[in-house]
Each structure stands twice: as C-alpha cells, then as structure tokens.
Amino acid sequence: MVDIVIIGGCGHVGLPLGLAFARAGRSVVALDLDAHKVAQANEGRMPFADRGADELLPEVLRAGTFRCTTDAGVIREADVVITVIGTPLDEHLNPRFEVYRDLIDQDRSHLRDGQLLVLRSTVYPGTTERVAAELAREGRSIDVAFCPERVAEGFALEEITSLPQLVAGCSERAQRRAEELFAPLASEILPMEPLGAELAKLFTNAWRYIQFATANQFYMIASEYGIDFYDVHRAMTHGYPRARGFPRAGFAAGPCLFKDTMQLSAFNDNTFFLGHAAMLINEGLPNYLVRRASRRWPLSEMTAGILGMTFKGDSDDPRDSLSFKLRKVLQVECREVVCSDPFLDEPWLVPLDEAVRRADLLFIGAPHSAYRDADLGGKPVVDVWNLTRHGTRPS
C-alpha cells in the first residue's frame, strides 16, 4: 500500500508536490504517462529545475518513500489520489473540458471506494463538483476535494510549505480528510467551497496577467511619447507604498496566466473585457517591439539576436514563451535571427558570445540574470525588462 498516488506526478507541479509529501514522511508514487520523465526521475535526476529538488529527489528515492511509474494500476493501492495533469486551451482559446473527463474515464477502473481524490490542476469552475457528482452517480464512495496549486514555477518545493493551502471538499468528510492531508505541509489551511476555490485560483492568475498588461500598456504609451518607462516606473514606485507592487514591463507568458485568464473568460460567457484587453496587450508586445525597432533600424538588412527563450528569467521552461513569437516576427522582418539561452539545449540555439558577435541588434527575450552584466559587445539592445542597463532608450 502507498499513502499517495499523484497522477501527472512527474510534471512541474506534481513532482515537487510528491517530493514534499515524501519529505514529510508519506509514501508517494508519481504516476505519469511520460515514460522518459519517469525513468529519469527514478534515476534521481530532475526533468526540470526546481530549487532544492536535485538534492531531495535522490534522498527520498534512497529512503524508499518515493518512486515513479507509468503503471496506472498503482492507483488502487493508494489512500489518496491527487491529479495534477495539464489543463490546456484548445485552438479556439476554450478550456479543454475533455481533459478531466478523459482522465476520470481512463482511471475510473483503478479508483476504489474509500479513497480521497484531490484535484490540484487549475480547472474550469465547476469541474470538482462535476467529478464528484459523476462518481456518486455511479454509486462510488470516493471523497472529492479541490486544493489548487499556487506555487511559482521553479520554487515549488519552497513555496508548498510557505503558502496557505486552499482546501475545498465536496462533503464534510472530504473536507476533513483533505485538511488532514495538507496540514503537515502547509503554513495555514483556508477552508473553502469548491467553486470559490476554483475561482480564487483563476482570479489570482487573471489578476496577475492584468497587472502585467497594465505595465506593458504603460510601457508602450511612454515609449510612443519618447519617455523612458523606467524613469516613470521609478517615479511611481519609489517611496510610494500604494504603487509598491506595480510590475515592470516584460513578456507575460508561460503555461498558466494566459490560459487561466481565458478559462475565466469562457466561464463568464466570454465577456471578461479586462482579461481580453490584457491578452491583446501582452500577446501584442513582441510585435510592438519589432514595429518600434523597424522605425529606428533597417531590419531587413540586419541579423537580430534573441537572448533568452524561456518564459521567465532563470527558468528552463520554454512553454508558451513569447520569445518564440518574437522570433517568428523577427524572422519575417530581419535578414537572419539567432537565438541563445543557457537553460535550454536545442540544436538551433547558439552560445551567448556567438549570438552577440553575429547580431546587429539584440533583444532580451527572457531576463536571465546572466545577461545583467554580460558583455553585449556595444550592440544596440531592445530591453523591455530594463535588465541590462544599456537597453535602448526611446528616441
């Protein structure tokens, strides 16, 4: 018998969560479809970066409290089943409702009465109650709860224990069991209703996405009027508590913020005006930067270099990174485009010094700290993040 099986257990959320439970003394099996990640993790190697996980993974494997498998039969052995599979959008920007339906269909024969089933993916509102109702309709006695993951990618192991945990059971017993599950991990438990917790997760991500869009829109307005946005940013935030959290401009991307803003929009009959405006601004930023650069430089005669292809700084995750959109636009406009990223290993990437040497114009795609003081050869730099301190100023 095992205490906990995590479905999607080798993903960015599932693996750190499994390690955190194993560190707390529970026996955990990470179940994943991806045989490559399963093999890699079972050898003690993290498939992606998460602070502290490189050391903890071999430790819990050695202690025998953690292992990974592709065999769904293991679900039957667990007291608690946690699902953390991806919940992507379809090509029309609608949530893919079938992801959870298929998961339950696929694993229903392994689920057994008496288990606690915890949904931890970010889901379309109502999903938790629907899953619980469907299982109850089949006469199954399975407790269902929603406990959303709220960690920042790359820092999951640290944040799992420092953040309050939202716990929303579909019944009193599910609530009690889910609270008991997370109590040893979380700094605090916040009991909620499932729909409220589903909305809390989506509201948080949409709110962050809108904040980034506000900064990006202000960046565009200031730039159009020849004003350095970061002078304005400093004036707004320095010694002024009410603007303290105002973000910098930059690519707002990755696998969550855009997707979850669109999930919320779909839930609200596609009338989430703020969310859609944020999407147009954030997704339009790469085009804006290139259009602006084209007013200043003869792009068609130039080689552009993109530094940083991941979706955020010092991360190894390229999912839904806007650097790829920037690359696409630059490939149309420029003679050639070269890309570099120290966190990725791809045949089309070149080392930083080669990108700097070959490029006539550089764009900071992801604000990796290595670029802060890097020698960029005196080349002009389009630096929406204001990372390099020698980014081009509005002209």
Task: Say if CB 175 and CB 167 are below 8 A apart.
Answer: yes
* Under rule CB under 6 A, residue 103 binds ligand NAD: yes
Mask 105-134, x = binds ligand NAD (CB under 6 A)?
A: -x--------------xx------------
Whole-angstrom distance, CA of residue 44 vs CA of residue 59: 8
- Contact between 202 and 151 under an 8 Å Cβ cutoff? The reply is no
Cβ 167 to ligand NAD shortest distance, Å: 16
- Cβ atoms of 368 and 316 closer than 8 Å: no
Beta bridge mates, 340: 307
| Stretch of 80-88, 177-185, 229-237, 340-348 contacting ligand NAD, by CB under 6 A | 80-88
Task: Check residue 206 for interaction with ligand NAD (CB under 6 A).
Answer: no
**Given candidates 5, 7, 74, 206, which one binds ligand NAD under the rule CB under 6 A?**
7
- Residue 84 touches ligand NAD, criterion: CB under 6 A: yes
Amino acid at 390: H
Q: Find the largest Cα–Cα distance for the chain.
A: 70
Q: Which stretch binds ligand NAD (CB under 6 A): 84-92, 218-226, 274-282, 354-362?
A: 84-92
Q: Name the amino acid, one letter, at 55.
A: E
Binding residues among 222-281 for ligand NAD as defined by CB under 6 A: 255-256
Among 58, 86, 126, 342, binds ligand NAD (CB under 6 A): 86
151 touches ligand NAD by CB under 6 A: yes
DSSP letter at 374 equals -
Smallest separation (angstroms) from ligand NAD to the CB of 145? 16
Backbone angles phi, psi at 248, to 5 degrees: -80, 165
Instruction: Figure out which of the listed residues 10, 41, 178, 220 binds ligand NAD, where binding follows CB under 6 A.
Output: 10
In the window 18-47, what residues touch ligand NAD (CB under 6 A)?
31-34, 37
Per the CB < 8 A criterion, the answer to whether 251 and 78 are in contact is: no
74: Cβ contacts below 8 Å, ≥ 6 apart:
2, 5, 29, 31, 110
* Burial annotation 320-345 (CB, 10 A radius, 16+ → b, else e): bbbbbbbbebbeeebeebbbbbbbbe
Which one, 14 or 308, has the nearer CB to ligand NAD? 14
Q: Which of 13, 117, 215, 364 binds ligand NAD (CB under 6 A)?
A: 13
Q: Per CB under 6 A, which region of 12-20, 54-62, 268-276, 374-382 contacts ligand NAD?
A: 12-20
In this chain, which stretch among 145-153, 214-222, 242-250, 365-373 interacts with ligand NAD, using CB under 6 A? 145-153
Distance CA 373, CA 371 (A): 6
Closest residue by beta carbon to ligand NAD: 11
3-state secondary structure (DSSP) of residue 117? strand
C-alpha 178/C-alpha 173 separation (Å) is 8
The nearer residue to ligand NAD, 29 or 307, going by C-beta atoms, is 29
Contact 144, 128 (CB under 8 A): yes
- Residues 6+ positions from 221 with CB-CB distance below 8 Å: none
Interface stretch with ligand NAD, choices 111-119, 148-156, 294-302, 373-381 (CB under 6 A) = 148-156
Site of interaction with ligand NAD (CB under 6 A): 7-8, 10-14, 31-34, 37, 84-87, 103, 106, 121-122, 149, 151, 153, 255-256
